[in-house]
Structures are given as C-alpha cells and as structure tokens.
Chain A
Amino acid sequence: MNASWSRFNITSIVLGFAFLYLPIVLLIIFSFNESKLVTVWGGFSTKWYGSLFNNRGLMDAAWVTIRVGLISATVATVLGTLAALTLTRYTRFRGRVLFSGMVFAPLVMPEVITGLSLLLLFVAIGLDRGFLTVILAHITFSMCFVAVVVQSRLMTFDRSLEEAAMDLGAPPVKTFFQITLPVIMPAIVSGWMLAFTLSIDDLVISSFASGPGATTLPMKIYSQVRLGVTPEINAACTLMIAVVAVGVIAASVVNKRREVQRQRDEQAAQRG
C-alpha cells in the first residue's frame, strides 16, 4: 500500500486541512500575541485572557448567550420531539404533508428572512424586544433541527417494543415514559446539543430579535470587530473554539467507546 502516501495524497491533505483550519489557527496564535496590533507578532503572552475576564461587556454577553442557549435548546427539544412523534406516528391526519413541510422549512429558510419576519411579528403584537424575544426566536429556528434528528431515530424504532409494554400492562402514557423515551433518548440528547450549539452560534436572527440588555456573545463580538479586531476578541473566540472542540471530541469518544463495548458484548454473546 505504498500508493496511499504518494506525494499527491500528502499535498491534497495538507491543502485541504490548511483551507479548513488556517484561519482558525491564525486566530488562536494571535490570541497569545503580546502586541496590541492584531497582525504584528510581538511575543507570547496570555494577558488578553486576563483582561477578557475583566471585560464586563463581553462577560455579560457570554452569560446571556449561555442562558438563551440552555432555555431555547430545552424548549426546542421538547417541541421538536413532539413534532417528530406526530410526524412519524400519526401518518394519516389531514394536512400532514403541509405540516411536515412547515416544520422543516426553517432548515432552508434564509436567516435574514426568519429574523426579519420574527421582528415584524414582535412589533405587530407589541412584544418588547429583549431576552424573551431572543429565546423565542432561537426556539423557532432550532426546533426543526431537533425534529429532524429525532424523526430519523423514530423511523427505525421497533414499534413492537411499545406493543410489548402495553401487552404487559403498561398504559400508553407509561409506555411512552418507560420505553419510548429512554430508547430514543440518545437522539433527543444529540438534538438538544445541536440546538444549543446553533443558539450560541447565531448572529443574524439574534440581531433582529434582540433588544437592550439582551446582547449575545456573537452580537457583542461582531459589534466590537467593527471598531477593529482586538486580541481580546481573539482570546474570546479561542475559548469558544475550545469549548466546542472539547464537547465534540468528548461526545465522539463516548460514542466510539460505547460502540466498541457493544461490539465486544455482541461477539461475547455469540460465542455463548
């Protein structure tokens, strides 16, 4: 298998990764820059991380982002799961196609349009823009992602599990909480994580839906960058990358372990 490490392959891999990660690597490097000038290297320093934690504005924004993320992801997960259940279970109700189309439309809807329409709605019903409206907006667009994830799990769900539970004496509601929910829980959790990630990332829709006192971290960073990039912002971004990376890596390690364990168990079972 000499061919697998030919010059061509190495070049493509290097170029590919460079294309993906060079900007991020630069950002991380410059977050440790001593100099106040972002593009001129002035020696290694961690002082921007210190000053970051003393920056009231950024820290407030981060706190808002986390609260919005937790609340909106949780509500979106409940609603998205219910939508997925309806769409997979009650396949014959009137207007099902319309309903499923409407649930999934936000997936492809330009964010500017979603944001603008939400803004119009909030103005029309006289809802003051602030923390609540940001949460409502985030629920609106992240719910459909949860629905997609949970629905794909429900498609492969063995309905005879529920029938078995009912056959053994569990009424429908008990069956749902004791059998259905635990079995689809991994999909619900990954739906929640997706919704949370989307929420802390979002800039466009937040900008439309937000008001005084509800500035999210991406909004804050964006507004500061317009006045010029500071190493402080680089440091904030590096921390965000670190949090996301740790989360993604941890999730995949746990998944991988579980998969390996499962295969080992199954082989052991086959041997008797």
Chain B
Amino acid sequence: MKSLGSIRREFAPWNDPNAKPYIAFENVTKRFGDFTAVNNLSLSVYEREFFALLGASGCGKSTLLRMLAGFEEPTAGRILLDGQDLRGIPPYRRPVNMMFQSYALFPHMTVEQNIAFGLKQDGMAKPAIEQRVKEMLDLVKLTQFSKRKPHQLSGGQRQRVALARSVAKRPKVLLLDEPLGALDKKLREETQFELMDLQQELGLTFVVVTHDQEEAMTMADRIAILDKGEVMQVATPAEIYEAPASRFVAGFVGNVNMFEGTVAAREANTARITGASGAEIVVENAGDAAAGNSVAFAIRPEKIKVSSRRPEGAANAMEGEVYDLAYLGDMTVYHVKLGDGQVVKASALNSARQTDDPLTWNDRAWISFRPDAGVVLTR
C-alpha cells in the first residue's frame, strides 16, 4: 500500500496544463448591499484536491463556500462544477454537501437518524440506508452511540456525527466550514489527520474554510489566501511559506522579517537592495525586481543566523544588540535590534544542550543570512 506521503507528492494536477478544473470560480463577485464580500475572484480546484480557503474573518471565504453550497448566488460571474454552471440550482439539488461550523445537528433526531436524513431525501431503499448508516458509523467510530441524541454527545463526537452526515451521500465535493474550530487543541491535531485520511479513503474533493493557518498548512494540498474578497495567492503550503507572492501573504503566514529598500543594482538573478539606513542586502533570487524598484526583502526567522562575532565570508551580515530573547526549549528566538532601530527576529534550533558562547540580553550580536535565504517582494 502506498503511504499517504507519496500519493500527496505525486498529486499536482494544477501543474498539468491538460488537467480540467473540477470547481471553477470565474470572475465571481458577491455584494451585500454596499459591501463587496467577494470581488471579481477566479479560482480553480481540481478533483480529489484538499483545498483550503485561508483568511481573516470578513475576507469572503465563508461567502465563497456558501455560494458553492447554493445558499448565496453570485452577483456577477459564474461557478462551474464539473463543467456545469451552478447558477439557479438550489442547495437541495447540488451534488455538494457541507459540514457546518456549528455542526447543525438536528436536535430531535438520534445520531443514526441524523446520518440517514440525506439518504432518505434521495428516496434510497431502507436496507441500503441502514447499510450506509452502519458504514458511516464505523468510519467515524460512533457505532455504540447510534441511538443517542446530539445533546448526549461530547464536542468531538458531535463533530464526527456532522462529518458522517455530510459524507453519507457521497457528494462530489465536501465543503467544510471551520471544521475543527470548536474543538480543543489536542483533539484538533488528531482530527486533522483523521480528516486527511478520510479524504484519501473516500476520494472526495474537499474545500475547507479556515482562519487557522496551521490547520490549512497541515491538511491542504493547496491554499488560497484571501483578503478583502480577493485572492492574494494560491499555492502549496511550502510555496506559500517559502515563496510568498506579496508582503501581505508573507506577513499573514508564519513569522517574517521585512526589510524595505530600493533595488540599487540588478544583474542576472542577483540584486543589491539598499535599505533606508544605507545597509545593503545581496539577494540571489531577485525574481522580477528591476533596478530602481522599491521592494521588501522578506526572510523567515529560522533562516537568520545569530552569532557574537562577524561570521567570515557571509554575504549578508548586520550588527546589532540582543534586545530580547525567548527560550522555548526546542529553540530560542532572538530579537536583535539593528543600528537603524529595526528589530529582527531570528530563531536558532537548540541542537546541543549547552553552547560555549551563549548570547544574552544586551550582548553585541551579528545576524547573517545567505543570499538565497529570503525573497524579494515587489507587491
């Protein structure tokens, strides 16, 4: 049997020019009165993909999900599912099912009846319904709770009933609205992996809405970062983290240090960026930044080295003072204040139990990084 990892490595239909998108948002706009929730947005999701819509509250991610489910109609543009335009098709005729943030379990029905509800609407024969309900209960390990009502279940069990109910009809697409939002941290981590396994097992396309970047990074094949109803970037978790497309994305996902400056010189792939205080940074992967552009150089804390002396041969090195430090056990985060007052975060893995040369508060320190350690952002 193939491990999940190898399947996921091979799975990249978005790089295949012949692959047809399964769900396509084409120039979709949604307005509520004067408020524009979604602004001229286009997105493609491929079959069997685990796709995450990530953004702060009010960025339009839930509206996108609700338009896909049929609870809202786009003001302009269209949404295609497997080539079919969804406009005008009511929620009860769409081959998508949704798992609600509040779970929306029917309080007057048992676990069994909740799961069977969708199947009954389809007019499925009784034995077939019973069989399917049994499968679903097995799948989410709730067989012994089948006769209970929702209020007799714990939060984690309710979440699994909601999940079972939404996949019972074998929808083409499963929509998940903050699926793990109501669970505590430990349960959330376990459930993330359960969801990924389930998606592989059933071979469904998942579209999940979340504001939790860790959740999105763990589960999704690709993430769309949304802000104010627009797509900022769509990419794999690694690309989002290592090659953010804009200052917004770099700042939104994970920790980042930004150096604002101007491109002083550009040759081949290398650029020299001069900061406001005159400090110079050499970058090897300069992207599309041209001489004279005002850009930001973004670099993650774990890619910056801190040392007490100037490292020899480092392409980029700056001197400062240890302003603050946080010892987290597995790593230490240094806040180094540079000459121009900018505070740079650098994290060092504590791979040894002791160091000969520990840095502490107010020590002089050098930060250094390789020319390819960060990215140049023009937007």
A residues near B, CB below 8 A?
158, 160-161, 163-171, 174, 178-179, 182-183, 262, 265-266, 268-270, 272
A166 contacts B152, C-beta separation under 8 Å: no
List residues of chain A with CB within 8 A of the CB of B71.
163
- Residues from chain B with Cβ under 8 Å of A158 in the complex: 102, 104
**Cα-based distance from A270 to B151 in the complex (angstroms):** 10
How far, in angstroms, from A160 to B96 measured CA to CA in the complex? 16
Cβ-defined contact, B92 with A169, below 8 A: yes
Q: Which 7 A-B pairs have the closest CB atoms?
A: A168-B118, A169-B121, A164-B104, A160-B104, A265-B152, A166-B91, A182-B108
Closest residue of B by beta carbon distance from A270: B154
Of the candidates A169, A178, A265, which one forms a contact with B122 in the assembled complex, judged by CB atoms under 8 Å apart? Answer: A169
Tell me whether A164 and B92 are in contact in the complex, defined as CB-CB below 8 angstroms, given that A269-B153, A272-B154 are known contacts: no
Mark out the residues of chain B between 82 and 103 whose CB falls within 8 Å of any chain A CB in the assembled complex.
Answer: 90-93, 96-98, 100-102
Partner of A167, one of B91, B101, B106, B107: B91
Q: Which residue of B lies closest to A175 (CB)?
A: B92
Interface check B165, CB cutoff 8 A = yes
A170 CB to closest chain B CB (Å) equals 5
Distance, CA A170 to CA B122, complexed state (A): 9
Taking CB atoms, residues of chain B closer than 8 Å to A179 are: 106
In the bound complex, what is the Cα–Cα distance between A262 and B148 (angstroms)?
A: 12
A175 to chain B, nearest CB (A): 8
Are B151 and A269 in contact, CB atoms less than 8 angstroms apart? yes
In the complex, what distance in Å separates the CA atom of A15 from the CA atom of B104? Answer: 50
A167 with B92: CB separation less than 8 A: yes
B61 at interface, CB cutoff 8 A: no
- Is B69 located at the chain interface by the 8 A CB criterion? yes
Given contact pairs A266-B152, A269-B154, A167 touches B102 in the complex (Cβ within 8 A): no
Q: Are B92 and A170 in contact (CB under 8 A)?
A: yes
CB-based contact B153/A164 at 8 Å: no
- Asked whether B106 lies within 8 Å of A161 as measured between CB atoms, the reply is yes
Q: Is B248 an interface residue (CB 8 A)?
A: no
> How far in angstroms is the closest Cβ of chain A from B186?
14
Contact B104 A268 (CB under 8 A): no
B117 located at the interface, meaning its Cβ lies under 8 Å from any Cβ of chain A in the complex:
yes
Q: State whether B98 touches A164 (Cβ < 8 A).
A: yes
B121 in contact with A174 (CB, 8 Å):
yes
Say whether B160 faces chain A, with CB atoms less than 8 Å apart: no
Interfacial chain A residues near B100, Cβ < 8 Å? 160, 163-164
Q: How far is the CB of A84 from chain B (nearest CB, A)?
A: 19
> What CA separation (Å) do A138 and B98 show in the bound complex?
45
Q: How far does the Cβ of A119 sit from chain B's closest Cβ, in whole Å? A: 44
In the complex formed, the residue of B with least CB distance to A160 is B104
Q: Chain A residues near B169 (CB, 8 Å)?
A: 168-169
A265 to B145, CA, bound (A): 13
| B154→A165 contact, CB < 8 A | no
A-B contact pairs, 18 of them (CB 8 A): A160-B101, A163-B104, A164-B98, A166-B91, A167-B69, A168-B166, A169-B93, A169-B121, A171-B90, A182-B108, A183-B107, A262-B151, A265-B149, A265-B151, A266-B152, A269-B153, A270-B154, A272-B154
CB distance from A154 to the nearest CB of B (A): 15
B102 touches A160 (CB 8 A): yes
- State whether the Cβ of B157 lies closer than 8 Å to any Cβ in chain A: yes
Q: How far, in Å, is A77 (CB) from chain B's closest CB? A: 19
Cα–Cα distance between A182 and B91 once the two chains are bound (Å): 22
Which B residues from 203 to 258 make CB contacts under 8 A with A? none
A255 CA / B88 CA spacing, docked (Å): 44
Q: Within the assembled complex, what's the spacing in Å between the Cα atoms of A270 and B117?
A: 26
Please report the C-alpha to C-alpha distance between residue A171 and residue B93 in the assembled complex, in whole angstroms: 9
With the chains together, A160 CA to B166 CA distance in Å? 14
CB distance from A78 to the nearest CB of B (A): 21
Which B residues from 132 to 162 make CB contacts under 8 A with A?
149, 151-154, 157
CB–CB A269/B157 < 8 A: yes
Q: Does B118 lie within 8 Å of A266, measured CB to CB?
A: no
What is the CB-to-nearest-CB distance from B319 to chain A, in angstroms, rounded to a whole number?
56
**Residue of A169, A262, A270 with most partner-chain B CB within 10 A:** A169
Contact A165 B106 (CB under 8 A): yes
Partner of B104, one of A161, A265, A272: A161
- CB contacts (< 8 Å) of A183 on chain B: these are 106-108
Q: Which of A167, A171, A262, A269 contacts B98 (CB 8 A)?
A: A167
Taking a contact as CB atoms under 8 Å apart, the answer to whether B154 and A170 are in contact is no
Contacts of A269 in B (CB 8 A): 151-154, 157
A167 to chain B, nearest CB (A): 5
Q: How far is the CB of A262 from chain B (nearest CB, A)?
A: 6
With a cutoff of 8 Å between Cβ atoms, the chain A residues found around residue B69 in the complex are 163, 167
Minimal Cβ-Cβ distance residue in A for B107: A183
| CB nearest to B121 among chain A residues | A169
Interface centre among B70, B102, B104, B152, by most chain A C-beta atoms within 10 angstroms, is B104
Which residues of B (142-197) have their CB < 8 Å from a CB of A? 149, 151-154, 157, 165-166, 169
How far apart are A205's CB and chain B's nearest CB, in angstroms? 36
A167 engages B97 (CB within 8 Å): yes
A170 partner residues in chain B, CB cutoff 8 A = 92, 117, 121
